[in-house]
Amino acid sequence: MSYFKIINQGEEPNRLFIGGVHGKEGKSTIRALKNISDDDVGKGRLIIYNCDDTPYISTLKHEYYQSRIGKEILYLIDYYQPQVYIELHCYNKENYSRLTSPNRQKEQGVPPLIELEAGVLIGSVSPYIRTSLFKRDDICMTLEMPCDAGKKSLKAYVNVLKIISGSNNREELEDKMIRTYPPQVETAKRYAKEFFGDYPPF
């Protein structure tokens, strides 16, 4: 299930996609990551890493980054210095309402995830790393799909990854995402501004 690949189309931007960061999510996220080919990547590099099974610790908890896999992820971020960092997750369908709840910030300390289509959700990565390891203009996103994703969900998930892979900067990515998912992107911007203040853009 562990999977590592580098697609090199030049020096920058560096993109780091990490799948299955906790629990058994890697069994699902590897299905998406293996659909990304060299032709999908624009300028720069794409580093793909899919994790083996690990004990489940929420990335919203500080202790996650003290675990073996948490330290591994911190190392990868430090080593590759990505301008684009994407965490690939999956969720059990009974958790959908909790992840997208308007009360998520009050209950879990972070904004709700936003559905793009077919159960594919988007949001920010953990604030523990967003504000400490990345610059303001870096792109940092969490992407979720159902763990038992059908063809429609998997296709939507892979398409978003390909949009990110093929975008050479923030402006290009925002333009592509706004054309594909206009209301969702506007909501994501609003949530980010409310949660982080003026720190990160989209």
| pLDDT tens-digit readout, 144-173 | 999 999 999 999 999 999 999 999 999 999
Per-residue pLDDT at 120: 98
Rounded CA-CA distance 44/110 in Å is: 31
In whole angstroms, how large is the CA radius of gyration of the chain?
15
Residue among 116, 112, 111, 117 nearest 100 (CA): 112
Residue among 12, 21, 91, 71 nearest 47 (CA): 12
For residue 170, the cross-strand partners are none
Query: Binning pLDDT at 50, 70 and 90, where does residue 7 land?
Result: very high
Per-residue pLDDT at 183: 96
Per-residue pLDDT at 2: 84
Structure-block tokens of residue 83: 């301008």
Residue among 171, 170, 14 nearest 82 (CA): 14
Residue among 34, 64, 39 nearest 50 (CA): 34
Could you give the dihedral angle defined by the CA atoms of residues 104, 137, 7 and 121, in that order, rounded to the nearest 10 degrees? 20
Q: How high does pLDDT run on average in the chain?
A: 93
DSSP state of 64: G
DSSP state of 153: H
Residue 202 pLDDT more than 60?
no
Helix (H, G, I), strand (E, B) or coil at 97: helix
Residue 199 pLDDT more than 60?
no
For the chain, the domains span 3-196
Structure-block tokens of residue 136: 């303001």
Under 8 Å between Cβ of 176 and 162: no
Per-residue pLDDT at 200: 57
